[in-house]
Amino acid sequence: MAKRQRPTDGTPADDFVENIVDIDVSTEMEGSFLEYAYSVIYSRALPDARDGLKPVQRRILYMMSEMGLRPEKGHVKSARVVGEVMGKLHPHGDSAIYDTMVRMAQDWTLRLPLIDGHGNFGSLDDGPAAPRYTEARLAAAALELTGNLDENVVDFVPNYDNQMMQPSVLPAAYPNLLVNGASGIAVGMATNMAPHNLGEVIAAAQYLITNPHATLEDIMAYVPGPDLPSGGRIVGLQGIRDAYANGRGSFKTRAKMTVEQLTPRRVGLVVTELPYLVGPEKVREKLKDALNNNKIVGIADFIDLSDLKNGLRLVIELKNGFNPAAVMEQLYRYTPLEESFGINNVCLVDGQPQTLGLLPLLQVFVTHRIDVVRRRTAFRLGKKQDRLHLVEGLLIAIVDIDEVIQIIRSSDEVAAARERLMAIYDLSEIQANYILDLQLRQLTRFSMVKLEAERDDLRREIASLEAILGSEELLRQLVTDELGEVAGKYATPRRTVLLESEALAPSVAKALAAGPAGKAAPLALEIADDPCWVLLSATGQIARTSTADPLVESGGRSKHDVFSSVLQTSARSEIGALTSLGRMLRLQVVDMPVLPPTAALPNLAGGVAAKDFITLTKGETLVGFMPLDAVFAVGTAAGVVKRVTPEYPLNRDDWEYIALKPKDFVVGAGVSTDDDDLVFITQGAQLLRYSAANVRPQGRTAGGMAGIKLAAGDQVISFNVVSPNDPDAVVVTISGGQDALPGTPQGSAKVTALSEYPAKGRATGGVRAHRFLKGEDALLAAWAGHGPAKSSSSTGVARALPVEHGHRDGSGVALGASIDLIGPSLTGSTSAEAGTAATGPGSTTGAADGMPSTHSAPPAPTVDPAPIPASTQEAFELPSD
């Protein structure tokens, strides 16, 4: 048949009938928009309050369950899952389906991921790979949402083309909407729900099942607040209470940030947890913008050290001299390290969008779950009853199975056989059909005993199921028990810390206390030039205090807390560090690690090792700290003395303060005036004391002058600056054998008043300070200065010292325990070879364990007396008066 040609001149065809319908545009637009809005609200954007899923999420999980993608099975291509969902259930774009699928696999998005992804499923800063590259299967927790779908627990509805059926809601064995939260934008409304801890939510649901009239306060005892997948801190709980009460509220989330000593000279802020859905790259970009706009100052560098093994670790390195707490507040203000989360609990309840608080959300879930368990129980009851009916009929027939077979064989047709069986054995039609459908080979597995046992089991199960359906209490108890099983499988500890208000942060609390009328005072951005003490421990740890005087007369002693040098100064000043090889290094006090304030002795375990803070050469050790504006005296192992004038180069950070001869080294130093005495003690037990006025100050390049005349083979082991007017000044000497085996009883100890030793001329041999007993041939340690009540050691172990003061040329009292030598004897060794210095009696180390019994803060600036030389690991204990 030839096709009729349409006119080409624009005239209508002969059979054309014109039909123009007038439609009001506003009415058409209104109707079309309402239809679109309805579709978005009910079919796209809002989750159902019962299972907490949007339609596309529900369809993905259902289709993956139908495909058999269980946790114990292998992964399949994500593109295959997307294609199945799009073709059978969700006639929308594949990108929307895949994006939803990716979100359900991200453990930083959902508190309990529902899909086990394999491949690149993206990160907080990057998107996922294409679906052809990634693979997926159901996570174990998803089975709790899709379980029992084949037991008529929920209603099924047709799909978009009426060719398949899909569940209108999933059974949901736990409150998924509260656990994983939700977000979506519809027309005229939106939802944004925070994730919660599974164990807490299930505990609240169990309490609500047991106590249907529970109040919101009762429920909040179990669910105090959201539990975000990324952890962090939630600051301000009032907004959470508002959201739990009426469905709307907001709270602030903060990163977990701590102050750490990154290097011996650099402090930094380390971020290990970020706010919800904030990525490191976003933090970097906002931080860069804030630095460029001068909104944040005091930051030297930003380093991302995150990896799969250690997790998130962002290091924000601070410039020296800036207050970490103040910089932290700036970061919270100008970067995503603090974000706001607005709760808007909009969801579908019976097909209608509603805004629900915490209690109604749990009530909707509990009602749904009780209905699911009731329908499941009724379904199982029907299955058991049907099976029991068949078993009872088979039991009737199997008693006379030969006659049953004969009846069937003698019947002309199936209907006649069915009628005869029903009439003879009083069977129902279902029972008769079951017998007729049996194959002869099936008769081999039937026996009276087994059938009777199955019948009894079925009757017991039916009675149990009927009891559950007949008792609301048993039904609720079953739901409670099943919730407990889910919590036992998947509950994890809380990740997010809840803070009532910002004032709970230590830095803010301090500012609040300092501010007028209860208002927070702004934190000082730069560290103030407050008084402090710089400390060097006997174990070589360096630190500074944050208080004016750390040497309080209270507290115990810990390792590293024996001070070998203490200098009073201020936080932003410069000091000098003296080394054993005659070098002085300029140090910024603000660069040193600061110890937290404490009412007891500061613990120098929080400091850094001197060798890490100061560049030392091989065989060089740190002697102590000195102010840069005071004359100080030093003594060397070769008996050289020098008083150094404070004239140092301004353009250098290190210089020599004494010109040492080969193999000589500094053994002690101290701030000195003309009124002080200088005291040398040698290994051969000679002591020389004379006035510092006999040593004129010299420039830093001078080599000093003769301080003490040494006998052949002798060397200085102690040099101290002592006030001659101190009535408590003592000399402590510890003798022993240089060749004694470690751990064997060694030598003796003697305490003598310094006044027992007469002043002699400079460069003389001095007087005898200790008479050696049998087995003793040298002093292992010695010290002169203010006598303390007690003394301790680098290990915190004290040793008893003689009660009575001995004569200057007398022998010591045998030690109660051995002196553990660290290295070789002092003969022919440097202070570095001798090991770690131990604090001697009289060091300013605290009243309880090593501080002078009548301690008073020395005038600033000053330095603590030099310690016992580094020949022993143990220090000793002087008796109290």
Residues of the chain with CATH 2.120.10.90: 531-814
Residue 870 scores a pLDDT above 60:
no
Whole-angstrom distance, CA of residue 546 vs CA of residue 548: 7
Residue 218 pLDDT? 95
Residue 507 pLDDT? 45
Fold type of domain 256-336+496-527:
Gyrase A; domain 2 (3.30.1360)
Omega prior to 336 cis, within 30 of 0 = no
Quick: pLDDT tens for 273-284: 999 999 999 999
Residue for token digits 């907001």?
Answer: 250
Mean pLDDT across 642-663: 90
* Segment among 365-379, 389-403, 453-467 with least mean pLDDT: 389-403
Whole-angstrom distance, CA of residue 558 vs CA of residue 561: 6
Q: What percentage of the chain has pLDDT greater than the value 70?
A: 82
| Beta bridge partner(s), residue 349 | 352
Residue 830 pLDDT? 29
Residues of the chain with CATH 1.10.268.10: 380-490
Per the CB < 8 A criterion, the answer to whether 756 and 770 are in contact is no
* Segment among 99-108, 237-246, 540-549 with least mean pLDDT: 540-549
Residue 672 scores a pLDDT above 80:
yes
Residue 482 pLDDT? 96
Beta strands in 746-855 (DSSP E): 748-753, 767-768, 778-786, 813-814
CA count, 13 A, side-chain hemisphere, 187:
13
Residue 858 pLDDT? 30
Residues of the chain with CATH 3.90.199.10: 55-145+154-168
Q: What is the mean pLDDT of the chain?
A: 82
Mean pLDDT across 190-214: 95
Quick: pLDDT tens for 852-861: 322 222 332 3
Give the CATH number of domain 531-814: 2.120.10.90
Query: Residue 387: how many CB atoms within 10 A of its CB?
Result: 15
Residue 776 scores a pLDDT above 80:
yes
Q: What percentage of the chain has pLDDT greater than the value 90?
A: 52
* Segment among 18-27, 616-625, 660-669 with least mean pLDDT: 18-27
Give the CATH number of domain 55-145+154-168: 3.90.199.10
Residue 841 pLDDT? 30
Residue 3 pLDDT? 54
The burial class, CB within 10 Å (0-12 / 13-18 / 19+), for 465 is: buried
Q: What are phi and psi of 746, to 5 degrees?
A: -130, 125
Look at phi and psi of residue 846 and say left if phi exceeds 0, alpha if psi is from -120 to 50, else beta: left
Quick: pLDDT tens for 809-861: 788 877 765 544 332 222 222 232 333 333 333 333 332 233 332 222 233 23
* Segment among 16-25, 694-703, 789-798 with least mean pLDDT: 789-798
Q: Which of 590, 613, 457 is nearest to 527 (CA)?
A: 590
Mean pLDDT across 341-351: 93
Residues of the chain with CATH 3.30.1360.40: 256-336+496-527
State CA 801 to chain mean position distance: 47
Per the CB < 8 A criterion, the answer to whether 557 and 584 are in contact is no
Residue 493 pLDDT? 95
Active site annotation includes 133: yes
Mean pLDDT across 109-123: 95
307-314, long-range: CB < 8 A, 24+ apart: 311/272, 312/271, 312/272, 312/273, 312/274, 312/280, 313/270, 313/271, 313/272, 314/270, 314/271, 314/272, 314/274, 314/280, 314/283
Q: Compute the radius of gyration of the chain from its Cα atoms.
A: 44
Residue 6 pLDDT? 59
Regarding predicted confidence, which is higher, 558 or 155?
A: 155
Whole-angstrom distance, CA of residue 185 vs CA of residue 347: 11
Residue 843 pLDDT? 34
Gap between the terminal Cα atoms of the chain: 133
Whole-angstrom distance, CA of residue 550 vs CA of residue 307: 40
Confidence of residue 568 (pLDDT cuts 50, 70, 90): confident
Answer whether 0.85 is exceeded by the pTM.
Answer: no
Residue for token digits 């301690």?
Answer: 855
> Does the structural domain 380-490 have CATH classification 1.20.120.160?
no
Task: Return all residues near 575 (Cβ < 8 A) that are at least 6 apart.
Answer: 534, 567, 569, 586, 587, 589, 625, 626, 627, 628
Residue 129 pLDDT? 96
Look at phi and psi of residue 518 and say left if phi exceeds 0, alpha if psi is from -120 to 50, else beta: left
122-131, long-range: CB < 8 A, 24+ apart: 123/279, 124/274, 124/277, 124/278, 124/279, 124/280, 124/281, 124/282, 125/279, 125/280, 125/281, 125/282, 128/98, 128/102, 130/79, 131/77, 131/78, 131/79, 131/82, 131/94, 131/98
Which residue is catalytic, options 36, 38, 133, 160?
A: 133
- Cα angle 409, 410, 411 (rounded to 5 degrees) comes to 95
Quick: pLDDT tens for 53-87: 999 999 999 999 999 999 999 999 999 999 999 99
Mean pLDDT across 646-655: 88
Whole-angstrom distance, CA of residue 263 vs CA of residue 146: 53
Per the CB < 8 A criterion, the answer to whether 537 and 794 are in contact is yes
Whole-angstrom distance, CA of residue 781 vs CA of residue 566: 20
Residue 506 pLDDT? 45
Residue 377 scores a pLDDT above 70:
yes
Mean pLDDT across 5-14: 67
Residue 110 scores a pLDDT above 60:
yes
Residue 789 scores a pLDDT above 80:
no
Query: Residue 840: how many CB atoms within 10 A of its CB?
Result: 31
